[in-house]
Structure 1
Amino acid sequence: MDEDNEPAFSTETLWELQVEFGSVACVSCSTRFIAVGTTRGDVFVLDILGNEINRLLSLHKSRITGLCFASGRFSDDVIASVDRDDRMLIVSSSVRGASSTVQEIRTRVQGSSKLNGVAADPHIDTAAQGRRFAIACSDGKLQIFTSSWLIGSHSTLREGEGEIQSVCWEGNLLAWSSTSRIRVFDMTNNYGVCMIMHPDIVIPKPVRSTGQESDTMMRPKHKTRMSMRKIATDELYSLCVTSNDTLKAYTINPDKGSKRKVVLKNAYARDHFSRDKGNFPENASAFPFLGSVYFSDDEIALLLASELSSGLELSHISVYDNSRVTTMDIQSEGNRLMAGIVSVPGSEAMALIYQAQTIKSAAPRSIGDRLEWLIEKGRFEEAIDIVGSTERSALLHMEDKVSVVGEKFLFSLLEAQEWQKLSDLLPRVLQITTLPEPTKGVGSESSTKSLIERWMQWIQQFERAGKTAFVVGVIPLKTPRLPKEQYTKVLCALTVRDPAVLVKVLGTWDSSVFDVPTVTRIVETELKTDQSNEHLKEALLVLYDYSHRHDKTLRMLLRDRTSRVFDYISNHELFEAVREKESIQILYDIDENSTSRLLAREADSTLPSTAVVSILENIGDRKLLFSYLHTLFHINPEHINQHHKALLELYCDYGSPGSLIRFLKSSHYSLENALETIKSAASKTPGKDFSKEIVFVLQRMGDLVAALEILLDDSKDVEGAIEFAKEQADPELWKRLLDRADDTEVLSRLLDDPHESIDPVLLFEKINSSTRIPDLTRKLYRLVANAKVERELREICMEMLSEDVGHGMNEMDQLVRKPV
């Protein structure tokens, strides 16, 4: 067997036959006993553990070809056996070698060349017909021997379909195999259940082997063997049929009106079990299946001759999943083609494999067996996967072995210095390999305590190697909850070795899991020796926050001039702490806009605007005062009234284009003072244009003519002046514009957009021979056309009005003339 492949079964040699007694020919098994028939006609009785109980030497005169136990109230004390040459059926009651009330039966089957097998009625004690035995005969007859207290009788159930090769009786059903077909018969209701054609119909080719077998050997004419299993009750069965190179699994459903439904669950050919798919031998069919039995309702054990060696193979098959096939090698003895397999009745899955001189037990490998083998091979990760996929209740009695698996796997990663993989797998491995004491049950305090201890041990392993940063992200904070000292110790180690990781951990760990003062002292100590370490500073800020030492935190933030100070002040409402000149100066140095917003938002309570303005005036930077008042005007405009004069001056000095006019439109102030302030600013800063602001103030004061003069004289904005006149709808403004029409630009704009308030004739009078206006002819033509259209519209309106008046007068006259 390949040592790297995990065995499919756990096997153990139960018993060995001494050579002087010949070879093992057949085996039968009950829930408590094993019967072994030999080629010399002897029968050995063993208990289920392989201890020899009795020897029935020379029970037969020739090779024993069939054995079975007759169960019932006799407690498996009865063994039925048949031989090949003497054609004897012997029912012996000497299982334990003691006397029995059951009389031994010896009867010879007539007319048969040899007997191939025997099966006993499972209801042997309660059957109304008496104790019945089915005998497979080579002459094609299936004989039923019935024994009563006085006499016995033979009858033929079926014949004429070729040699009967094997027979089995389970519950109500009797199954037998001939050279051409398999039949199943309901012995209680006396009807045939089904017929299955023999799967082997291909004539084999001669074997061309590689030396393991004779080159001249033909494929043996091997028996078709069957095994049957009751699934739930006597009415539901699984049937397994094994021929030379085919295995078929059937389900026989319960009896419904003398009719059972037989379903083929799965079928397997020889190449399905080949472990060398790319080099499957042409003569592989010469290495036959030797037998199969059900382990459970959907698991089969198949014994077959290996095509790659001179040994045997035992395969573990899942009926409903073809991918789940595992195979192991078994060393053969004598003629391997005479080997066989039988099931062991009972609750535990077990089979017996017999060869020439030995009986071996085979059982699906238990979780403990698999873990032990994988540990021995150093395949710890596979063992962990098995533990993880197994119900915890099934592991309770192997807690030591499971724990060893976890530890060895983790230490293998530790030795390989695979720190990342070790930290990633550590939580899962510790969780699934920590089991409670078997008496305490799943989820007990013992498992929690053990899990905590293992966590602490492995954290210590990381600390010793200086790799705490790898494990800190997976340390459990709730389930299980480690001692507070352990979390504190981890953070202290990170302070010294990896402050960057310390900062990340502090952001995710709740302050209740570790001792904040202790960690704070360690960080403060480290920071004294490395004052430029930003990670330590950040960690200290978090720790101060955890311990509500806001004064120290704020002092650090201001000292480091970090923008986080604004959020910290707002979140913890530390506005009172920044009412000093130095604090406000530092805040403005960090971020002017953020500081102004911070101060303006608290103008209602902690930071009144008068106090802030006083501090900013004391600082002496008018730009900072403007930034604060401008922000206050937008956030809390109701607080700006008392600072209007100052803010107006600041807007004139520092305001962006358009900001002053927006302020003037939305504030209450003295118009005279505003006009004086803006004119003063305009005279001091010739480069700035305040004409729009002055016009706006004059307009609000009602001095429209002065506003118009500003537009025409100071701003030279003729178009703006015309729009202003339109908006105000004041005839005096149009008169002033007409008076200024001696200016060709004003005249040209009025000709482009003549207003009804200006008589076109008066505009014509402004034109003389020296007037130079681009495109003057077109403008005059449009002016005349517009005047003509206007005149025509007026005439039409007059006619319509006159007609309406005349019509109304006639109606009134008629009403007057009517008699009263």
Structure 2
Amino acid sequence: MAEVEEQGRNLSEESTDESEEEDTEEEPKLKYERLTNGVTEILQKDAASCMTVHDKFLALGTHFGKVYLLDIQGNVTQKFEISPVKINQISLDESGDHVGICSEDGKVRIPFIHFSSNCSLTSSISIYDKSLRNWLNRWKTSVLHEGEGNITNVKWRANLIAWANNVGVKIYDISSKQRITNVLRDNTNLRPDMYPCSLCWKDNTTLIIGWGSSVKICVVKERDPTEMRDLPSRYVEIVSAFETEFFISGLAPLADQLVTLYYVKDSSEHMFRTRPRLDIIQSLPEGCEEISSDALTVRNFQENQCRDYRLEHSEGESLFYIISPKDIVVAKERDQDDHIDWLLEKKKYEEALMAAEISFRNIKRHDLVLDNNLDSLGDYDAAARKCQKVLGKNMDLWENEVYRFKTIGQLKAISQYLPRGDLRLRPAIYEMILHEFLKTDYEGFATLIREWPGELYNNMAIVQAVNEHLKKDPTNSMLLTTLAELYTYDQRYDRALEIYLKLRHKDVYQLIHKHNLFSAIKDKIVLLMDFDKEKAVDMLLDNDDKISMDKVVEELKDRPELLHVYLHKLFKRDHHKGQKYHERQISLYAEYDRPNLLPFLRESMHCPLEKALEICQQRHFVEETVFLLSRMGNCRRALQMIMEELADVDKAIEFAKEQDDRELWDDLISYSIDKPPFITGLLNNIGTHVDPILLIHRIKEGMEIPNLRDSLVKILQDYNLQILLREGCKKILVADSLSLLQRMHRTQKRGVRVDEENICESCHTPILPSGTPLLLLMHPFVYINTYENFIYSRFIKV
């Protein structure tokens, strides 16, 4: 390749649109070079039609029927005049010693010994096998398939042969001598001669099919012996199938990705043919992801069609040959030198320097040396970051660099880039950096303790150092928090808990739960409650099997406000669990939480009523006293308190309704008879419980009662409503009675089946003596029985 470097650079420059170059900073995945030397001279007079790649050489077929053997630089080593027509395919064996050539006239030439190929314009495929000999020990032909038009592509791998015709792709298993699948062509609207099928074996069982804009990845699998019966021993599963934007001219594998050569045709009226594209894609079960895409400026691309392009690859190394009639381009993966070139081109000099330092043994064109003087860089953080990439897994170099940073007083800069995974430095290195931070930067020290795994350094040595600093500053919260974290890692949870409680740290409850420290907090319940009452109570109640209720009450006895919070939540969870503390809770509610006292008295079944009444009366809690009096049976006294102390007629009426006691209503009326506002309230609410006439008759003549007219109207409305309700209920009752009566009548009229075994309940004789004829006439009111004796008025002797 005499012109490779210069032409390759030009081709690479033309491989993408200018707009794409401006918009993207992504580095290309492949680099391109033209195959020159002898190839240039050949293609000036002839046109390439196909090519086969071997580790040792290349075999190029042309439109004029010639085959050239080339070295990898494109120099001609041999030439064969094969046919006057175009060469369609060349096939080589693994050793490269034998070649088979297929031409446009449908003939196969084997200049040396063996043929294993891909041929066109034939109507069947034949294969030779040692077992296929006739009785004269001569080779015989075995027809594998015919009758579906021209065979346009054949690929043989191990014991599997894949071929494509106008209908689809077939795969034949040589070992079982069976055709195991038929993959139909998707793009049936495209002419198969203009958009031929591309086949490529990724390995011995994976076939990649590209046809038109469709790609399918097929895997040959062994069939379960229990399912075989008359089926082939192998079957094909399509593991991925997707459509592409352009037409496929060739396919090749690249690790777990695909390299695809696309033919791009403009959709305009002029059908302008654009540059072919070479893409790297990642196949997915139902689609694909584009990894990279390059547009190639091959010679005379404006005149080429989809069938004029081929893509061949070398399995030994990642080399891809793009064959067109007047040009052959070689694509290969970019190496480290190419990567450095790209970085320099983008003016990323620092990254280029680091790349050269990392791969200094592999680069060939760049002679860059690591600058050992860190001071010259000025930016110590950038220098430390560079160490992470340059030094890699060499622990000795890492330790040397750490000491160099220490010498210039910049240990902090390198701290965040030190190895901390499977590969680690000696513990002394990490301890040295921690001590440096402890002297100058408590916050940075705390950050490193949180970020670094505890096994990187001697934990006890760091704990001792922190304690020494705390002697000078015992209230430093950051150092105390860090010390608690060190204790936690060292599994000295009691010490960590003590510090967290002292600091009222938010992680104290998490620490208790995570490490089951309930035995350590039995004497610290007050501290926990002072820190966060709600969380502390929830934790104590959730873990009452580990810290008993009696223990909590004992610890909180000198802090009644905290004891109330605990017992209140306990009562809300279970009304009976803390029943022995209900008497104490009465005073606690009265002192700290009166709004919840009445609900507690209502819901508690274990509260001593006398004690509760005494406390409520002492504190003049009227509502609570009223409830307790009514619960103790002294409803008249309770009503009196409502009327006298609360002066609330609505509450008095509500209380009378709840008790539903006629005497209470009389007391209420008697108390209200000289109070016009009370009389109004009674007139508005008494109608549904007591006859309002009793109240009206007792009203003194001449008394002015507010809203009397409205109250009387309401009484009449309530009375009418009651009458309507009673009438409605009466109608419903009568209708239900009539319905039930009719149902009973229909049931009694229903006939009953009897036989000779049935006995009359009256005379205790058989109802139907054997041999007695019976005639039953169905009539709404008459039953006739032809029996010798007249038994009942409904039976007539015949």
TM-score with structure 2 length normalisation?
0.49
Which structure would you say has the larger RCO, counting Cα contacts within 8 Å and 6 or more residues apart?
1
The structure having more radius of gyration, on CA atoms, is: 1
